[in-house]
A and B are shown apart, each in its own frame.
Chain A
C-alpha cells in the first residue's frame, strides 16, 4: 500500500522531472574521424539519436510500431521531411529534443550535443527535403508597444501577458525568460508541440520583430513599484499580505499587548 502511494506521488511529480532533464539514456555519439564532413556526421548522429522516433530519412514513425533501432525501443514521432534548419535549430538548441518518451511534453533542458554536433545534425535535417532556414529576427526594428498588443492577442492566453508562462488543458506553456530572439521567432513560425503555428500572413515579419522586442523587454521590465514578486499578480501579492504584513502586524500586537504568561 505504501509503495503504491509512493509510486502515485512519484507519478504526479514525474512529468516535470521527465521533461526538464535530457533523457536518462543520454545521447549516442558515433566514433568518427575528426574531419568527417558535417553532413556525414549529422547522418550518423541522426541514426543514433533520432531515427528511432523520426524514422530513417525523417519519414516519421507511426505508433504502434515494431521495435526498431537499438534496444527494443517502441517509439513514435512526426516526419522531419521538409521541416528545414529552422525546426532542427529550435528543438535541438533548446534541448527540447531528444525526448525521453513520444507523448511527454518537450521542455527546455540541458543540451548534450556539442556545438559541432548541433551544426551537423541541423545541417542533416535541413537536407531532408527543402525547408525553411533559421529565421533572423530584428527586434531593434520592432516596437515594444506594438509587441505588447500583438503578444496579448496571439500569445498571452497561454504564455501570460508578462511572459511568465501558463497552463492549458494537457500542457504547460513555458515562461519565456530563457528564449533567445531566434528561438522566439522559430517557435512562432513552427508552433512546437501544442502551440499554434503562426505563418507570415497571420504575423508578418515586422510584427514578429515587435513581438520579439516585447518579449526581450519583458525579461527585464521596469519595475518602478519595487520588488516585482515574479510579475504573477495576486497570488504572490496575497502571500506577501499574509506572510509578511500579517506576521509583522501580529508581531506588533504581541509586543504591545499582554500575552498569557506576562
Chain B
C-alpha cells in the first residue's frame, strides 16, 4: 500500500529521490538542537488558532454598546473589535480556550526563539556558512515582536490601547522624521484614521505571517542545505556529520515534541487565564489604568522608557531627540544592530574567515561568550527595571530609588559580567584540561597494571 502511494506520487512528480534523501537526512543529536523546533511548533499552533479567531473577530472601531452575557459590561460603550473579542471569550463555544491558547502560544513562541537564539549565539552556530541563516533568524525575531504587539493591540482593551498610544509616542520620537512616519502609519494624529484598524488587522493576519512563514521556510531550507552543526565528538568532525536519520529515528521524536508543545499550550490555554480583557474594559483616549504593562517580550522597552531622565534634547526651537527615542528606539536598535553585525564583528576580530560545521562549547570561546553575557545582562537589567513599580507596591522598595539603582547597574554590571564570564570560561577550560590529563594518566597506569 505504501509502495502504491509512493509510486503514484513519484510518477507524477519525480520526487522519490528527494523523498529518499529527506527520509534519511541526518539530525545531530543534542537536546539544545530541539529549541528551534519548539519555536516552530509554537508558530504552527499560532497559525491554527489564529485562523480560527479570524472567523469570529471583527476588526472595526465602529462604536457599539455591549449586550452580551457578561453582566459587568452590560451597557458599556465599546468598539466592535473589543466586543467581538469579548464575545469570542463568552459566547463562542471553546472560543476562550482558543483565544487563550493563541495568546499563550505567542508568549511561549518568543521564549523559545530567545532560548534558541542564545543556544545559537553561545555555541557559534552563526558562523559561515550559516551566517545567512542566522540573519534570517534575527529578522524573524524582529517581525515576531511586531506581530505579537499588533496581535494583542487589535483587541482594543484598556491595557493594549495604552500600549498603542505609547507606540505612537515612540514613533513620533524618531529624530527629524518621526512625525512623518507616525502620521503615515496612523493616517494622522492618534488614535488615527478609520483605516488604521484595518491596517493593523491585515498586517497581523496576512502580511506579517506570510513574511515570517517565507523567512521560516528559507531558514529551514538553508539549515537542511548546509546540514545542522554538531558538537565535537567520536566520529564527529568538520567533514563528517553523525546523526539520527529523519525516518524512522527522528520523526517520532519531532512529532512527539510538536504534540508536547501543543499540549503545553492547550493546557495553559484552558487552565491559566491570560489577558482577561473583560476585566480591563475597553480603551478610550482619555482613560488609563495603573500597572499597565506590555506583553513580556516588549518589557525591555518599558524599562528603557522609564529609566531615561526627563529631557527632550532641544536646540533652539528644534526638538532634536524627544525623550522616548532613547529607550524606545535607540536601545532596541542597538541590541538588534549588535545581533545583526555579530557574525561579521567576530570574523574580523578573530581573523577567522573560514567555514565551521562544529560547534564550540561556550567555555571554549571565552571572549564571545563574555560579550554575549555582557549584552544579555544589560538587556536583562533594563527589562527588570520595567517592573520596579510593582516591586514598590509588593515589597515597599521606593520606586525612585530603584530607578537610580537600575541606572547605575545598567552601566556597571555589563563590564563586570564581561570580565567575570571570561574568567569563568578560562577556569572551566583549565579544569577540563586537568581532568583530561588525569584521565589519560589513569588510563595509562591501568594499562600498565
- Interface residue ranges, A against B (CB under 8 Å): 12-17, 19-20, 143-146, 148-149, 152-153, 156-162, 164-169, 172-173, 214, 217-218, 221-229, 231-235, 237-238, 240-242, 244-246, 248-250, 252-254, 256-259
Q: Which of B93-139 contact A (CB under 8 A)?
A: 96, 100, 104, 107-108, 111-112, 115
- What are 19 A-B pairs at a CB distance below 8 A? A12-B401, A148-B76, A152-B158, A156-B290, A157-B288, A161-B279, A167-B291, A221-B279, A222-B70, A223-B273, A225-B276, A226-B271, A227-B273, A228-B276, A229-B273, A241-B104, A250-B35, A252-B34, A253-B31
Contact of B107 among A145, A156, A238 (CB under 8 A): A238
A246 to chain B, nearest CB (A): 5
Main SS class of interface, A: helix
Residue B299 is within 8 A (CB to CB) of chain A in the complex: yes
B111 in contact with A245 (CB, 8 Å): yes
Contact of A173 among B268, B290, B296 (CB under 8 A): B290
B272 in contact with A227 (CB, 8 Å): yes
Residue B240 is within 8 A (CB to CB) of chain A in the complex: no
Contacts A145-B76, A161-B281 given: A226-B32 contact, CB under 8 Å? no
Contact of B272 among A224, A226, A238, A242 (CB under 8 A): A226
A174 to chain B, nearest CB (A): 9
A248 in contact with B281 (CB, 8 Å): no
Give the complex CA separation of A246 and B111 in angstroms: 7
A242 to chain B, nearest CB (A): 6
Contacts A148-B73, A152-B158, A159-B290 given: A258-B273 contact, CB under 8 Å? no
B143 to chain A, nearest CB (A): 19
| B261 neighbours in A (Cβ, 8 Å) | 249, 252
The 5 closest A-B pairs by CB, nearest first: A16-B396, A238-B296, A166-B290, A225-B273, A257-B31
Range class of the B interface residue count: 35 or more
B76 in contact with A149 (CB, 8 Å): yes
Contact of A214 among B72, B75, B253, B271 (CB under 8 A): B72
Proximity string of chain B (294-333) to chain A, C-beta cutoff 8 Å, 1 when within and 0 when not: 1111010000000000000000000000000000000000
Give the complex CA separation of A112 and B291 in angstroms: 33
Contact of B257 among A12, A166, A253 (CB under 8 A): A253
A234 in contact with B294 (CB, 8 Å): yes
Give the complex CA separation of A144 and B71 in angstroms: 8
